[in-house]
Chain A
Amino acid sequence: MKEIIGILKTMIPLAAPFLYAAIGETFAQTSGVVNLGVEGIMLLSAYGAFYVALNTGNLWLALLTAVLIGLLMGLLMSFISVTLKAEQGISGIGLYLFGYGMSSLLFETTIGTVKTINGFRPASIPLLGDLPVVGPLLFQNSIPVYGAFLLVPVAWWVLNRTTLGLKIKSVGQNPAAADSLGINVDGIRYFSVCLGAALAGLAGATLSTAVVNLFQDNLTAGQGFIAVALVYFGGWSPIGVLGGALLFSFVNSLQLWMQVLGVKISSDVAVMLPYLMTIAALMFSVNRARQPAALNKPFERGES
């Protein structure tokens, strides 16, 4: 019983980076742009946030730095993919290599060794935090973790109940029709990609300043790519993404606990689990009908 609660308690913060990154990617993909550079954005902003936190001790400034890094990388991605209409799979890999290379370079030159910081502390929510079992599990987390879970209904509301959400969907489904109605297709796509990238920045910062409180080379270890897979898995809906994020953080948490408890299974096999699960998740993402029709297609006026 103690172990089960332990697994669930680790799982909640572990879900936060997935949530930020995958919900951000949901916005980008709903507008028709696949941003495969999420991993690179997460790495560089995780570094940026950690560096600021280490040197100033100001965690809010750290989050702001991460968001700014995300925004800048989002602008770069939009320029290449929307304005220059590049093949998105390739430009995303370019962004990943850039983010990974830069984070390693800066880590080696400015920090050098793995250090830890005092990251965001758990903030107990009055009354709810005192509940038995549920309290420590759900209502004694850090602010970035609460933020990630709050983002789910907010994103759902923006996508499904606002004009902006409708515009994002329309440029992802039928950019030519949206264009003919006077919607600025490129503008909406820039906005969605940059919003997604800023959230990927928050995902990186949450990881390095609220979940593990350290930075090391390749800290994310594929979480950014898994987040992209979660968008397919979740059928381009924030609620679906929430389910996927919880499932994956559960497996991650289980894997960590198996190592702690010394379950007779090689840690190498345990580490493989999330990656195997991602492939399985992609195999069973049958919700293709909900895929934005113009996903991965650059828009050019006058082309059908």
Chain B
Amino acid sequence: MQGKQAAGTSSLLHRSAFDWSNVVLHLLLPLAGVLVALLIGALMLLILKADPLAAYRALIDGAVGSVSGITQSLVKATPLLLVGLGICIAFRANVINIGGEGQIILGAIAATWFPLTFNTWPGWLLIPATLTFGFLAGAVWGFVPGILKARLHVNEILSTIMMNSIAQQFMYLLIRGPLMDPAGIAAGTFLAQSARIPQQATLPRLVPQTLLHAGAILAVVLAIVVYFFLWRTTIGYRIRAVGLNPDASRYSGINVPFYQAFSMTLAGGFAGLAGAIEIMGVQHRLLDGITSGYGFTGIVAALLGGLHPLGLIPASILFGGLLVGANEMQRTVQVPSSLINALLGLIVLFVSGSAIWSRRWAARRNMGVQNEEEKS
């Protein structure tokens, strides 16, 4: 498989760090995709006999209409940004990580078990230790499909999807068994959820009376770090080289399988961190549905953000808002929020389909440059 995908993905990868003339195209095309998806959504709402205007008004209102809406949107943007960062890194090495869901779960499991076990540690030690442990757990879940792709050419899309299902079952096993809340067992409710993590392991709130937590700042800082990592370090350069042209990278002495496995491991780590932060900042305990589909929505955000760590910041805020708005829409106009999932699928189709125009545009521009060089 490796190398065979290069032709298709390279169009998405052929982008230098800051190429402002490109930004317009790479901003307008994806946004047009979102707009068309929303228009199709309006059509579907009409068929479902709901008022599209009222529905979309509820959506916007829910996302940005109040302090709680805005902070909620940022809370949901945080895991999207983290998962998306991992997907960016993997994608740059031409490895497609669909395993965000499973990696989030592993990170969440780790970030539940660790503070429950070391509950006497002080917060200044427990918080960084738990975050690291969550990152590592996700990294392991990313390493497996990474090494399988690098060594045995196992299609990483399929293996990561399988790893998602395995992680899901593993979590059920834990919250119905060893990690089940002792309080629930004592009360006889047997709720499938873990105990609450100790107070000193929870992330501090940024705005009082809201859910916005310090994880959001960490995510933005990490986005900047990943940007420097990919474009200003040797390892980052090699990751991108492997993605752009695996054959040329091999001839120039880059260990291609290593960087494929490594980028997937990092991707898993970032998703694991997202899971840990979701536990420590929002849920404070492990329960079913902990991923909220962030593993998949993160892919959409990464694509829309042009697979660029900095482009991801606005993209994940946009999708965080969409998710929050969808809940409001479900409440006020009784349209199931799964509508948004269908629209996310359409956005992915449009964005991946519209890459042809940016590719042609880039080719035309390259030709123009060549012509000018010939003239001079």
Chain B 331-346: CB-based contact to A (< 8 A → 1; otherwise 0): 0000010111111111
Q: Is the CB of A222 within 8 A of B339?
A: no
How far apart are the CA atoms of A293 and B314 in the complex, in Å?
A: 39
Q: Is the CB of B8 within 8 A of A94?
A: no
Q: Is the CB of A221 within 8 A of B165?
A: yes
Q: Is the CB of A228 within 8 A of B98?
A: no
The number of chain B residues touching the other chain, given as a range, is 35 or more
Q: How far is the CB of A92 from chain B (nearest CB, A)?
A: 8
Known contacts A93-B98, A98-B346, A101-B345: A283-B152 contact under CB 8 Å: yes
CB neighbours (8 Å) of B148 from chain A are 279, 282-283
CB neighbours (8 Å) of A99 from chain B are 345
Known contacts A97-B344, A282-B159: A104-B338 contact under CB 8 Å: yes
Chain A 219-235: CB-based contact to B (< 8 A → 1; otherwise 0): 00110011011001000
Question: Is B109 an interface residue, CB under 8 A from the partner?
Answer: no
Nearest chain-B residue to A99 (Cβ)?
B345
Q: Is the CB of B340 within 8 A of A101?
A: yes
Question: Is A133 an interface residue, CB under 8 A from the partner?
Answer: no
Nearest chain-B residue to A295 (Cβ)?
B4
How far apart are the CA atoms of A269 and B48 in the complex, in Å?
A: 40
How far apart are the CA atoms of A22 and B116 in the complex, in Å?
A: 45
Question: Is A236 an interface residue, CB under 8 A from the partner?
Answer: no
Question: Is A137 an interface residue, CB under 8 A from the partner?
Answer: no
Q: How far is the CB of B336 from chain A (nearest CB, A)?
A: 4
CB neighbours (8 Å) of B343 from chain A are 101
Question: Is B352 an interface residue, CB under 8 A from the partner?
Answer: yes
Interface centre among B159, B163, B347 (most CB of A within 10 A): B159
Q: How far is the CB of B85 from chain A (nearest CB, A)?
A: 18
Chain A 62-100: CB-based contact to B (< 8 A → 1; otherwise 0): 000000000000001001100011111111111111111
CB neighbours (8 Å) of A263 from chain B are none
CB neighbours (8 Å) of A89 from chain B are 5, 8, 96, 157
How far apart are the CA atoms of A221 and B98 in the complex, in Å?
A: 16
The number of chain A residues touching the other chain, given as a range, is 35 or more
Partner-contacting stretch, out of A146-154, A169-177, A270-278: A270-278
Q: How far is the CB of B308 from chain A (nearest CB, A)?
A: 16
Q: Which positions 248-300 of chain A face chain B at CB distance < 8 Å?
A: 266, 268-269, 271-272, 275-276, 278-279, 282-283, 288, 295-298
Q: Which of B96, B153, B159, B338 contacts A90 (CB 8 A)?
A: B96
Q: Which of B153, B299, B355 contacts A86 (CB 8 A)?
A: B355
How far apart are the CA atoms of A105 and B170 in the complex, in Å?
A: 28
Q: Is the CB of B1 within 8 A of A296?
A: yes
Question: Is B253 an interface residue, CB under 8 A from the partner?
Answer: no
CB neighbours (8 Å) of B351 from chain A are 90
Chain B 151-188: CB-based contact to A (< 8 A → 1; otherwise 0): 01111011101110110011011001100000000000
CB neighbours (8 Å) of A85 from chain B are 8, 356
Question: Is A102 an interface residue, CB under 8 A from the partner?
Answer: yes
Known contacts A97-B348, A102-B342: A278-B355 contact under CB 8 Å: no
Nearest chain-A residue to B151 (Cβ)?
A283
Nearest chain-A residue to B174 (Cβ)?
A268
Question: Is B112 an interface residue, CB under 8 A from the partner?
Answer: no
Q: How far is the CB of B358 from chain A (nearest CB, A)?
A: 12
Q: Is the CB of A272 within 8 A of B344?
A: no
Question: Is B32 an interface residue, CB under 8 A from the partner?
Answer: no
Q: How far is the CB of B152 from chain A (nearest CB, A)?
A: 5
Q: Which positions 243-294 of chain B face chain A at CB distance < 8 Å?
A: none
Q: Is the CB of A90 within 8 A of B155?
A: no
Known contacts A109-B48, A296-B1: A90-B342 contact under CB 8 Å: no
CB neighbours (8 Å) of B155 from chain A are 229, 232, 282
Nearest chain-A residue to B171 (Cβ)?
A268
Q: Is the CB of B352 within 8 A of A94?
A: yes
Nearest chain-B residue to A92 (Cβ)?
B157
CB neighbours (8 Å) of A276 from chain B are 162, 166
Q: How far is the CB of A282 from chain B (nearest CB, A)?
A: 4
Q: Is the CB of B172 within 8 A of A97?
A: no
Question: Is A130 an interface residue, CB under 8 A from the partner?
Answer: no
Q: Is the CB of B154 within 8 A of A279?
A: yes
Beyond A85-B356, A297-B4, 9 additional pairs, beta carbon < 8 A: A93-B299, A95-B345, A96-B345, A99-B345, A109-B48, A222-B165, A282-B152, A296-B5, A296-B8
Interface, chain A (partner B; CB < 8 A): 36, 40, 76, 79-80, 84-102, 104-105, 108-109, 221-222, 225-226, 228-229, 232, 266, 268-269, 271-272, 275-276, 278-279, 282-283, 288, 295-298
Interface, chain B (partner A; CB < 8 A): 1, 4-5, 7-9, 11-12, 44, 48, 96, 98, 148, 152-155, 157-159, 161-163, 165-166, 169-170, 172-173, 176-177, 296, 299-300, 303, 336, 338-349, 351-356
Q: What are 30 of the A-B contact pairs (CB < 8 Å)?
A: A36-B157, A76-B349, A84-B356, A86-B8, A87-B5, A87-B12, A90-B299, A91-B348, A91-B349, A93-B98, A93-B296, A97-B345, A98-B348, A100-B341, A101-B338, A101-B343, A105-B341, A108-B338, A225-B158, A229-B155, A232-B158, A266-B177, A268-B170, A269-B173, A271-B169, A275-B166, A282-B154, A282-B155, A282-B158, A298-B8
